[in-house]
Amino acid sequence: MQPTHPTAYLAATTDKNLELVLHVLPAIVVILVASALCGRLAILVKQPRVLGEMVAGVLLGPTLFGALFPEAQKAIFTADVKPILYVLSTIGLTIFMFLVGAGLDHGGGTGGKDTKNAAVLAISGIIPSLLLGAGAGYLLYDRLSRPDVTSFEFALFMGGALSITAFPMLARILYERRLENTPLGRMTLLGASIDDAAAWCFLAVLSAMHSGGGPMQVLRMIGFTALFALVMLTVVARLLRPMGAKVERTGHFGFDQMYIVVGVVLLAGLFTDYIGIYSVFGGFIAGLAMPRNPAFRAALHNRMMDVVCVLLLPIFFAFSGLNTELGGVTGWAMIGPFLLILAAGFVGKYAGCALAMRGVGFSWRESWAVGGLMNARGLMILIFINIGLAQGMISKDVFSMLVLVAVITTAGAVPLYRRALPERLEQRMSPPAPQPKAASGPPPAEAEPVHA
């Protein structure tokens, strides 16, 4: 008896939902296998796992898989599969940004000097890269921008994208090295969190400007965004405090609490999508509104982060990779613009943050270490530019260039940090004999080695 070929079975299938499942599941399996292999390779060369997963997403796109095996790629990532991947990646990003927001210790009282230094770091992490990126965008507008995007919008988007910092990755590095409670660690975590929060607010305003509904439409969107953030951070946050106190008191985080948390996240994402600023912003604000109790935050991350990082984020990387064509970037006409964008992002973050930290009294080694960490963009810039691509603010060529910038700056973060602060110097900064404390929640990233 001859075995039935899968395509023959699909042709005979009358259940369209089953047919869709039989298309989607193989695509997800391919994504997970590629992500696991590339993530493990990244760890072997002492890089964060997220770098390998980012590269896996690019390799599954037209750059490698589509170039070598075009028919196989089209058969796996069919036209009806891509919308499903988009929905899954959007849910994953919304929950991931929620966990990032929930992990920010915006209420943890650092000293006045730490807060002042963090403010200096945040400003130095935003302004130089924003100005240099905007300048590069303005110079390259005629060559790279879509015709329906103004030079002002294009320049602002480029500046905003290059001002992003991979906050969860930075946090994980500091926690793994027990530097989170040193002056450098506290200052860097707070500064990077301010940096990223400002970038998401900036993107929300830029999305409102790009909506094309006229000044009143822009003001309406900005007004709804501000009102949403105010309600979430005051009314909703106050209503959720008893839940955090109960988890802290009983040590139990059950299904009832999970239903509430997931419901708040999805409703927040739905509302921000509805007003036009993308669901990840809603997830981030929902995270900031969560109770700050250490036990609650620990339970939240333990329950949700692994599934998001192992299943949903690799789907996002693959979806980004399907839109990334590095062949166009490597042409001679594009090398100059790409190098200009890369230089603007690198100098703005690395040199800007390092010089600012030296100015407030840190040593040159500490300053360059902070600059190296702040220069990493990781997953955060991919989220930023995917929103820009989805809303028509950038072309696929610009998207591909910024994906390459994300890979290069993320790959450089750990080596630059280790070069500036070798282990022998790092140990002098670590607190002696750390004592286990119930008040220390997990870092705002996954339990695996540096992820995002």
The whole-number mean pLDDT for each consecutive block of 10 residues of the chain, a chain of 452 residues, reads: 52 73 92 94 87 89 87 91 92 88 62 75 91 94 88 91 82 68 76 79 77 69 86 94 92 91 94 82 89 90 87 89 74 83 92 91 89 85 86 88 89 87 72 47 42 50
- CA-to-CA dists, residue 55 to 31, 80, 86, angstroms: 12, 24, 18
Q: How far apart are CA 350 and CA 355, in angstroms?
A: 9
Question: Which pLDDT score is estimated for 111?
Answer: 54
Burial class for 77, CB neighbours closer than 10 Å (0-12, 13-18, 19+): buried
Between CA 382 and CA 388 the distance in angstroms is: 10
Cβ-contact 169, 452 below 8 angstroms: yes
Question: Is the separation of the CB atoms in 380 and 316 below 8 Å?
Answer: no
Question: Taking the alpha carbons of 347, 38, 307, 77 in that order, is the dihedral positive or negative?
Answer: positive
Alpha-carbon distance of 12 to 403, in angstroms, equals: 41
φ/ψ of residue 166, rounded to 5: -80, 80
Contact 203, 160 (CB under 8 A): yes
Q: Are 211 and 277 in contact (CB under 8 A)?
A: no
List Cα–Cα distances, 387 to 196, 245, 298, in angstroms.
15, 36, 30
Q: If you compute the radius of gyration of the chain from its CA atoms, what whole number of angstroms results?
A: 22
The CATH code belonging to domain 53-65+72-429 is 1.20.1530.20
DSSP one-letter code for 69: -
d(CA 287, CA 296): 12
CA distance 157 to 137: 8
Sequence ranges of the domains in the chain: 53-65+72-429
The one-character DSSP state at 212 is: -
- Quick one: CA torsion of 428, 176, 374, 115, rounded to 10 degrees? -70
Distance of CA 2 to the CA centre of its chain: 49
The Cα–Cα gap between 319 and 82 comes to 7
In angstroms, rounded to a whole number, what is the distance separating the alpha carbons of residues 339 and 343?
A: 6
